[in-house]
């Protein structure tokens, strides 16, 4: 059983490398993906029986190349079109193991990420294509994760591939300074995948563990390939430090438990130790960036023995820095909480007022939820209850809605100031 799991993990890690190698050589994204799936199926049948080949990656590329060649030749014959460049290539070249000047293992996976996260694609398409091509999730799995019909997700992925084909996007490393911009897009896409897994935007469950795990796995791979990039390391640290709290975020019935009320003994201490070490090492050697600052904030939370021990002054200082590096309404929203904890709830509420007219967040449930929390801290129970109910109406997450409604209901039970 253990050997089987190890083989499955190996195939999962090799799949994007093999797909990247085929797309780089031959183009034909769709056909390459089908060929790789056939090669993976062949490996899952043959490897347990005959043992691992000497070079599993080369074996998969060879088998997938054969499948691709057969498919393209069949397609060309059926449609009576001129044979493609791949079909004209001598068979010996198609089935030969990768030459010595092949990119190092994993480089093709990074190039595949660059392709899937190309700015010509919408954010939703980038996420879906990354999970499909690089993450190896099935279309049905991705559809379930985002609560859309399988057919809708299939169309989204298909349109993304057609967009790549129509745009003539090349498969190769982008040149500087575009490379740095494209890497930021990759990190943002992986950040979105993690956030959707950590707090699902819709549905009955607060968390989608398969998405958080996949995001962490993919960032680990990028960090392995780019070990000197501070923001890659910062994002990995942020994910580890945040995901470490997952075991304490819900009750047995799935109800949400806020950070201040979580049983911290349930937090994953190994992940916290790894995340703290990673961000500490990164901050010492790399230019500082937004993901590193967010990871530092997460580390301050995770290292506090209890909620009352949280160093809010340090967190506020870090949010001030983050606001200078990457100003956006969500940073302001989180900074308002830190301001309230350091300077009092009225100061935090004053900062929230600057967001009311911001269309990016003005109708978001989190703005009402934070306002409700700060109003509750002031003792204005009626206003806090109204804000909690407003937030509950706006969220599409069932656990969040139930939590917000419960907070509102609690404020009806006993009059008098709180906090």
Q: How many CB atoms lie within 10 A of CB 8?
A: 12
DSSP 363: T
pLDDT at 88: 46
Are the C-beta atoms of residues 199 and 190 closer than 8 Å to each other?
A: no
Read off the pTM.
0.82
Distance CA 356, CA 368 (A): 10
pLDDT at 145: 74
Distance CA 339, CA 114 (A): 38
Range 312-419 has CATH code 1.25.40.10 = yes
Query: Is the bond leading into 177 cis (omega within 30 degrees of zero)?
Result: yes
pLDDT at 1: 57
Cα–Cα nearest to 338, from 361, 359, 356, 314:
314
Distance CA 264, CA 247 (A): 9
Are the C-beta atoms of residues 54 and 47 closer than 8 Å to each other?
A: no
pLDDT at 80: 45
Domain limits, the chain? 2-95, 312-419
Cα–Cα nearest to 374, from 318, 336, 342:
336
Cα–Cα separations (whole angstroms), residue 49 to 3, 44, 45, 53, 225: 11, 9, 7, 11, 32
Tell me the pLDDT of the chain (419 aa) as tens digits.
Answer: 566 666 777 888 888 888 888 888 887 788 888 899 899 989 988 888 888 888 999 999 999 999 888 887 776 555 544 444 444 444 333 333 443 344 444 578 888 888 888 888 888 899 899 888 888 888 888 887 777 889 999 999 998 888 887 777 767 777 777 888 889 999 999 999 999 899 988 888 899 898 899 899 999 989 998 999 999 999 999 999 999 999 999 999 999 999 999 999 999 999 999 999 999 999 999 899 999 999 999 999 999 999 999 999 999 999 999 999 999 999 999 999 999 999 999 999 999 999 988 888 878 899 999 999 999 999 999 999 999 999 999 998 999 999 999 999 999 865 544 43
pLDDT at 387: 97
Are the C-beta atoms of residues 340 and 347 closer than 8 Å to each other?
A: yes
pLDDT at 101: 43
pLDDT at 315: 98
């Amino acid at each position: 059983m253990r050997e089987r799991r190890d083989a499955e993990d190996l195939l999962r890690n090799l799949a994007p490398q093999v797909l990247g190698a085929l797309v780089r050589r031959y183009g034909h994204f769709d056909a390459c993906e089908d060929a790789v799936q056939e090669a993976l199926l062949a490996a899952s049948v043959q490897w347990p029986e005959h043992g691992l080949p000497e070079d599993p990656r080369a074996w998969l590329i060879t088998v997938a190349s054969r499948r691709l060649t057969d498919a393209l030749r069949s397609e060309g014959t059926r449609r009576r079109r001129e044979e493609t460049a791949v079909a004209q290539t001598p068979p010996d070249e198609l089935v030969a193991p990768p030459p010595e000047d092949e990119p190092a293992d994993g480089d093709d996976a990074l190039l595949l990420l660059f392709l899937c996260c190309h700015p010509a694609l919408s954010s939703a398409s980038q996420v879906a294509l990354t999970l499909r091509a690089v993450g190896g999730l099935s279309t049905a799995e991705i559809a379930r994760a985002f609560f859309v019909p399988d057919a809708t997700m299939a169309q989204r992925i298909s349109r993304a591939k057609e967009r790549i084909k129509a745009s003539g996007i090349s498969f190769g490393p982008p040149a500087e300074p575009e490379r740095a911009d494209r890497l930021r897009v990759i990190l943002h896409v992986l950040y979105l995948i993690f956030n959707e897994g950590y707090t699902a935007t819709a549905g009955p469950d607060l968390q989608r563990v398969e998405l958080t795990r996949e995001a962490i796995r993919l960032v680990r791979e990028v960090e392995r390939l780019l070990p000197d990039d501070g923001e890659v390391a910062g994002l990995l640290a942020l994910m580890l430090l945040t995901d470490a709290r997952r075991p304490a975020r819900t009750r047995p019935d799935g109800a949400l438990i806020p950070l201040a009320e979580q049983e911290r003994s349930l937090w994953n201490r190994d992940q916290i130790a790894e995340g703290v070490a990673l961000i500490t090492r990164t901050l010492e050697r790399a230019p500082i960036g937004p993901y590193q600052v967010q990871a530092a904030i997460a580390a301050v939370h995770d290292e506090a023995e209890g909620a009352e021990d949280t160093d809010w002054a340090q967190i506020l200082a870090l949010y001030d820095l983050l606001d200078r590096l990457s100003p956006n309404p969500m940073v302001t929203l989180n900074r308002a909480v830190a301001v309230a904890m350091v300077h009092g709830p009225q100061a935090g509420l004053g900062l929230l007022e600057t967001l009311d007219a911001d269309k990016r967040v003005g109708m978001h449930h989190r703005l009402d939820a934070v306002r409700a929390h700060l109003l509750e801290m002031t003792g204005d129970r009626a206003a806090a209850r109204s804000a909690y109910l407003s937030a509950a109406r706006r969220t599409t997450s069932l656990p969040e809605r139930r939590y917000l409604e419960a907070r509102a209901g609690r404020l009806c039970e006993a009059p008098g100031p709180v906090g």
